[in-house]
């Protein structure tokens, strides 16, 4: 079990580092082409939306193509919301793993992302759950679900913040 824990933690640390370095090609390669990426919106103080097709979400991509489109907009300068790109530092802890059928994993982790943009340092924090499947000696993400726990969001929230 310790080997599995280390393998998953190292995978998540690598994902965070790739995002911080803005190495988008390597970052996107960590996601299966059908990977869902979801950041639900809070409905009330303790209830968040669960159906991204019928309820509001902060971010929802039904497949990796949505992330690829965001990266395209970033690279071409067609996204005013991320010009200039913030500097980020992702921290991950409390990684918990549940083994599922077909060697897949359900992974839960706590996270904090510090970011700097326009002379201000801020942070987002929350919980994330991942569905991972084996890919060679590592893993690939088939689903990422993120809860942002900040009460106020003072900046544009994007995939690279979580």
The Cα–Cα gap between 134 and 140 comes to 6
Please check whether residue 82 is in contact with residue 95, taking contact to mean a CB–CB distance below 8 angstroms: no
pLDDT, residue 123, reads 96
Residues 6+ apart with CB under 8 A from 15: 27, 30, 141
Strand order in the sheet with 31-40: 57-61, 31-40, 138-148, 120-135, 105-117, 87-99
* Domain coordinates in residue numbering, the chain: 2-161
Query: pLDDT tens, 58-114?
Result: 999 999 999 999 999 999 988 888 889 999 999 999 999 999 999 999 999 999 999
Task: Just give the CATH number of 2-161.
Answer: 3.10.450.50
The Cα–Cα gap between 25 and 27 comes to 5
The pLDDT confidence band at residue 17, using thresholds 50, 70 and 90, is very high
- Buried/exposed 71-100: b ≥16 CB within 10 Å, e otherwise: beebeeeebeebeeebebebebeebebeee
In terms of pTM, does the model score above 0.75?
yes
The Cα–Cα gap between 12 and 92 comes to 8
């Amino acid at each position: 079990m310790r080997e599995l824990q280390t393998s998953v933690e190292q995978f998540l640390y690598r994902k965070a580092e790739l995002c911080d370095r803005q190495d988008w090609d390597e970052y996107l390669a960590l996601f299966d082409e059908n990977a869902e990426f979801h950041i639900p919106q809070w409905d009330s103080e303790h209830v968040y939306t669960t159906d991204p097709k019928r309820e509001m979400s902060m971010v929802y991509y039904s497949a990796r193509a949505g992330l690829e489109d965001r990266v395209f907009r970033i690279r071409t300068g067609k996204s005013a919301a991320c010009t200039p790109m913030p500097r980020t530092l992702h921290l991950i802890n409390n990684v918990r793993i549940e083994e599922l059928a077909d060697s897949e994993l359900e992974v839960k982790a706590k996270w904090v992302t510090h970011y700097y943009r326009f002379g201000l340092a801020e942070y987002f924090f929350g919980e994330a759950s991942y569905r991972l499947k084996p890919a060679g000696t590592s893993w690939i993400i088939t689903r990422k679900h993120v809860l942002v726990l900040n009460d106020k969001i003072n900046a544009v929230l994007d995939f690279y913040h979580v």
